């Protein structure tokens, strides 16, 4: 996105403006509840009921205020969580890591293979996919990573687990199927210990990102959430579906069975790899369309 286009969106779109100012630290002095109320009103046009939450997005906000477990920090750290998953699910489900670094200039690119991915350990979206190391734009990669390292991700959505995660850079294996295509991202939403539905993200890095929702038996759910859905896209034909769901519930149990947990996986040539753990999907700010699914999904969650 060019600077002029971004500036125009910044000036005309209050949601874009709020997100930018949050990253810049403009709202850091607000309490968690005041920040959540302000952003929720902006995104949904109404006040959230934080005393008696009923919708999915309200319950996520309630959890952000009340589920402040310090042990969750290691589970959202993209490097530290590997040890947890290794013990809970097994080594075969952990994406191999090549190194973890405190700053971009510490990365020894000579020692890395031709294909890899760089990820910031403390946030979402801070990644650089490298399919050919010879073609890597080092300046652009450095700028993106360094910009992400400066932001405490907790202040962008008030998700407590991120507050004390040390910003670092992880280099790990780039997962690619034999045909070289971008693997789909299977995000299993687990409510109260049971897999409720599966979110499938396709073409996340190609500019044609599609997010579809399915029941555990792959029936399409006619809803979108922050990203367009495509009902014409065939449901995934996953022979390992039962294993995927079982791993999601097993991982949720190892975490301590929180009321809501999103467990992300990739399936590459039949092998299931862990992606990440997300306690607050979309930080609870992505509207559902049609909006009645906000209440339908909310009814499936029992807060403790």
Residue 288 has pLDDT above 60, yes or no: yes
Question: What are the tokens at 146?
Answer: 């360094």
With a pLDDT cut of 70, the percent of the chain lying above it is 98
pLDDT of 300 over the 80 cut:
yes
- Residue 126: what pLDDT? 85
Mean pLDDT within 178-202: 94
Which residues on neighbouring strands pair with residue 185, listed in sequence order? 201, 266
Which DSSP string corresponds to 152-221? Answer: -THHHH--GGGTTPPP-EEEEPPP--TT-PPPPEEEEEEETTEEEEEEEEE-TTTT--EEEEE-TT-PEE
What average pLDDT score do residues 195-201 get? 97
Q: Tens of pLDDT along 207-232?
A: 789 999 999 999 999 999 999 999 99
Mean pLDDT (the chain) is 95
Categorize the per-residue pLDDT at 243 as very low, low, confident or very high, splitting at 50, 70 and 90.
Answer: very high
Q: Is 300 exposed, middle or buried (0-12, 13-18, 19+ CB in 10 A)?
A: middle
Identify the DSSP state of 53.
Answer: -
pLDDT of residue 8: 76
More confident residue, 143 or 179: 143
Contacts of 74 (CB under 8 A, 6+ apart): 80, 81, 84
CA 105 – CA 107 distance, rounded (Å): 5
pLDDT of residue 125: 84
Please say if the pLDDT value at position 279 is more than 90: yes
Q: Tell me which residue of 284, 282, 279, 240 sits closest to 257, measured CA to CA.
A: 279
Q: What is the rounded average pLDDT of the residues 259-266?
A: 98
What tokens does 62 get?
């309630």
Residue 268 is encoded by which pair of tokens? 């590459």
Residue 181 is predicted with a pLDDT of 85
The encoded tokens of residue 212 equal 């579809």
Q: Which of 154, 189, 167, 188 is nearest to 68 (CA)?
A: 154
Q: What is the pLDDT of residue 12?
A: 83
pLDDT (0 to 100) of residue 5:
63
Confidence of residue 205 (pLDDT cuts 50, 70, 90): confident
Long-range contacts for 80-86 (Cβ within 8 Å, ≥24 apart)?
80/121, 81/276, 81/277, 84/254, 85/251, 85/274
Confidence at residue 190, expressed as pLDDT on a 0 to 100 scale:
98
Among residues 269, 304, 241, 268, which one has the least CA distance to residue 66?
A: 304
Whether the predicted pLDDT of 289 surpasses 90: yes
Cα–Cα distance measured from residue 97 to residue 5, given in angstroms and rounded to the nearest whole number: 37
Query: According to the model, what pLDDT value does residue 180 have?
Result: 84
The yes-or-no verdict on residue 39 having pLDDT over 70 is yes
Assign 145 to helix, strand or coil.
helix
The string of DSSP codes covering 1-42 is: --HHHHHHHHHH-HHHHHHHHHHTTTTTTS-HHHHHHHHHHH
The per-residue pLDDT for 10 is: 73
Helices (H) and strands (E) in the chain, counts: 10, 12
Residue 3 vs residue 164, higher pLDDT? 164
- What is the reported pLDDT for 6? 60
Q: Is a pLDDT exceeding 90 seen at residue 4? A: no
Of 273, 262, 277, nearest to 60 (Cα)? 262
């Amino acid at each position: 996105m060019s600077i002029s286009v971004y500036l125009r969106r910044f000036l005309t779109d209050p949601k874009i403006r709020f997100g930018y100012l949050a990253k810049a630290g403009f709202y850091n002095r607000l309490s968690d509840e005041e920040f959540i109320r302000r952003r929720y009103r902006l995104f949904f046009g109404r006040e959230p009921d934080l005393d008696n939450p009923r919708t999915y997005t309200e319950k996520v906000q309630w959890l952000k205020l009340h589920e402040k477990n310090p042990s969750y920090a290691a589970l959202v750290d993209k490097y530290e969580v590997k040890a947890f998953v290794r013990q809970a699910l097994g080594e075969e489900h952990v994406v191999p890591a090549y190194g973890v670094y405190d700053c971009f200039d510490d990365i020894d690119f000579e020692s890395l293979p031709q294909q890899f991915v760089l990820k910031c350990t403390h946030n979402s979206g801070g990644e650089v996919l490298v399919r050919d190391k010879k073609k890597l734009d080092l300046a652009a990669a450095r700028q993106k990573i360094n910009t992400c390292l400066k932001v405490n991700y907790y202040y962008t959505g008030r998700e407590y687990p991120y507050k004390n995660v040390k910003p670092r850079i992880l280099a790990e294996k780039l997962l690619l199927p034999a045909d070289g295509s971008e693997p789909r991202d299977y995000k299993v939403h687990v409510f109260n210990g049971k897999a409720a539905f599966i979110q499938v993200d396709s073409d996340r890095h190609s500019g044609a990102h599609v997010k579809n929702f399915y029941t555990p038996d792959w029936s399409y759910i006619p809803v979108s959430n922050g990203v367009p859905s495509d009902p014409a896209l065939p449901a995934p034909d996953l022979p390992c579906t039962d294993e995927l769901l079982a791993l999601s519930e097993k991982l949720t149990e190892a975490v301590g069975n929180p009321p809501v947990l999103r467990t992300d996986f990739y399936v590459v040539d039949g092998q299931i790899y862990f992606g990440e753990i997300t306690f607050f999907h979309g930080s609870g700010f992505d509207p559902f369309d049609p909006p009645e699914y906000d209440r339908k999904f909310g009814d499936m969650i029992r807060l403790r």
